[in-house]
Amino acid sequence: MLKRLFSHYIAEEARPMMRLAAPLVLAELGWMSMVIVDTIMVGWQRGSAVAIAAVGLAGNLYYAIAIFGTGLMLGLDTLVSHSYGAGDLEDAHRSLVNGNYLSLAMAPALMGLVRLWEPVLRLLKVQPAVLEQAIPYLHAVNWSTAPLLFFFVFRRYLQGINLAKPVMFSILSANAINVVGNWALIYGHFGFHALGTVGSGWATCASRAYMAAVLAAYCVYYDLRYKTGFLKAARLPHYPRVRQIVRLGFPAAMQLGMEVAVFAVATALIARLGAVPLASYQIALNTVSFTYMVPLGISSAAAVRVGQGLGRSDPHGASRAGWTALALGTAFMTCTALAFWLVPRAIVRIYTPDPVVIRAASALLFVAAFFQLFDGFQTVATGALRGAGDTRTPMICSVSLYWIIGLPLGAWLCFRRGWGAAGLWTGLCVALILIGSLLLYVWRRCERNFAARAAHALSQRNAG
C-alpha cells in the first residue's frame, strides 16, 4: 500500500520536478553566493566586524524595499504557468510584456523609498563607524533596482515555460563578474581606485545589469530559433493584465516584504548592541539564507508544476507536484539542521578568523537549527499555494506571526531578558515554527480541494 502510494504521489512527479527544480536551486544558491561573497570580501579588510556589519545592515534595509517590487512579479508564476499548461503562449507573452511595463513604473518609486533609510538610520543611533560605510553602500546598490526588476520579470516568464537553465546560467556567470568587481573595486585592481566597502555595492550593480541583459537576449534568441511569437507580441500596455499581475503579486510581495522587513528591523535593533553582535548576526543570517535558497528554488518549481497541472485541468498532477516538492524540501532542511548542530564553528570560520565573532555566530546557528525544517515547510508550501493562485494565505500567516509574535518576543528576550542577539533570533524561530506548521495544514486542505474537483469531473464524465 505504501509502495503504491509513493509511486502515485511522488515517484511519477520526482523526475520532472527535479529537472525543473535543480537549475532553479542552483540559481538561488548562485544568487545568495553573491551576497556571501560580498560579506566575505569586505570582511577581509581592516576592521572586519565593522565592514561586515555595514554591508549586512545596508543590504537588509535595501531588500526590505526592493523585495516588494520583485515580489509583485511572483504573480507571473501563476499567470505564465497556467497559460503554458493550457498551451497558450500568446497569453504568456502578454504577461511578460506587461510585467516589464510594471517594472519600469515601479523602479523610481522604490529607489526613492530606499533613500529614506538614511535619516532613519541616523535616528536609530547606529554606531558611527558602521554608518559611515553602510550609507554609501546603500546608495550604490540602489542603482541596481531597475535591472533587478527586469531580471525577475524575464526569470518568472522563462521558468514558467520550463526554461530554467538560462536563469541558472545568468546567475552563476554573474557570480564571476561580482567576484572580479569586488576584488577590483574594494581593493583597487585593474587600474581602479580602492573604494573599500562601497566598491562592493557597485560590483553588485554591474552583476545585476548583466543578469537582466542575458535573460532578455535569451528570450530573443529562443524566439528567433523556435518561432514562439515573442517578438510579434503586442507591445502596448494591457492594463487588465497589469491588474492581474498586481492582484496576484501584491499579497506575495507583502509577504516577502514583511518577512525581509522583520529581519531588517532585527538587524537594526542588533546594531544597537555593537559591531560584534551585528557581525555575528549577519554571518548567521547569511548562512541560513544560503540554506534557504534550496527550498526557495524547489518552491519556484512547485509553483510552476502546480500551476501547469491546473492549467491543463490535471488536479491529481498538481497535488503530486506539491507533495513531491515538500518531500524534497524537507529532506534537505533536515540535513542542514544537523550541520548547524554539529559543526557551527567550522561554518562561521569561512567568514572571519575573529574568535569572538566565531563564538557569537556559532550560538546563533545552534538556534537556527531548530527552525530549519519548518522554514522548508513554509517556503515550499508557499510556492505550491502560489501555483494554485493562493497568495493571500501565506501573506496573512507571515505578517501576523512574524510581527505579532516573533519580533516582540525576540525584542523582549534580547533587551529585557539580556539574551542579546540569540534572544531576537529565538523569537523569530518561534514565529517560523508556527508559520511552517500552519501553511502545511493549509496546503493539505487545498490539495483535498484538488481531489474533490477531480472526483466531480470524473462523475460528470461517467454520467455523460
DSSP assignment, residue 354? -
Q: Is 44 exposed, middle or buried (0-12, 13-18, 19+ CB in 10 A)?
A: middle
- Whole-number Å distance between alpha carbons of 418 and 288: 24
Q: Retrieve residue 30's grid coordinates.
A: 548562485
193 sits in the region (left: phi over 0; alpha: psi -120 to 50; else beta) called beta
Q: Can you say whether the dihedral through the CA atoms of 301, 299, 384, 254 is positive or negative? A: negative
- Whole-number Å distance between alpha carbons of 33 and 146: 21
What pLDDT sits at residue 453?
62
What pLDDT sits at residue 431?
92
* Domain parsing of the chain, residue ranges: 2-456
**What is the per-residue pLDDT across 252-287, written as a single tens digit (0 to 9) for each?**
888 877 887 787 788 778 877 877 787 888 888 888
Of 166, 173, 149, the residue nearest 215 (C-alpha):
166
Q: Retrieve residue 76's grid coordinates.
A: 507571473
What pLDDT sits at residue 456?
59
CA–CA–CA angle 332, 75, 158 (5° rounding): 70
Per-residue confidence in pLDDT tens, the chain, 464 aa: 444 545 555 667 778 888 888 888 888 888 778 877 887 888 777 767 788 888 888 887 888 788 888 888 988 988 998 898 888 889 999 999 999 999 999 999 999 999 998 888 888 777 788 888 889 999 999 999 999 999 999 999 999 898 989 999 999 999 999 999 999 999 888 888 888 889 999 999 999 999 999 999 999 999 999 888 888 888 888 999 999 999 988 988 888 778 877 877 887 788 778 777 878 888 888 888 888 888 988 998 898 889 888 888 788 888 888 889 998 998 999 999 999 999 989 988 887 778 888 888 888 898 888 889 898 989 999 989 988 888 889 889 888 899 999 999 999 998 888 888 888 888 988 998 999 999 999 998 887 777 666 565 556 655 65
127 sits in the region (left: phi over 0; alpha: psi -120 to 50; else beta) called beta
394 near 385, Cβ under 8 Å? yes
What pLDDT sits at residue 5?
47
What pLDDT sits at residue 2?
42
Of 222, 85, 76, the residue nearest 157 (C-alpha):
76
Rounded to two decimals, what is the model's pTM?
0.77
Side chain identity, residue 360: A
User: What are all long-range contacts of 340-346, with beta carbons under 8 Å and residues at least 24 apart?
Assistant: 340/287, 340/365, 340/366, 340/368, 340/369, 340/372, 341/366, 341/369
423 near 269, Cβ under 8 Å? no
331 near 416, Cβ under 8 Å? no
- Whole-number Å distance between alpha carbons of 104 and 86: 29
What pLDDT sits at residue 454?
59
Q: Retrieve residue 330's grid coordinates.
A: 524537507
Cβ atoms within 10 Å, residue 8: 13
- Reported residue count of the chain is 464
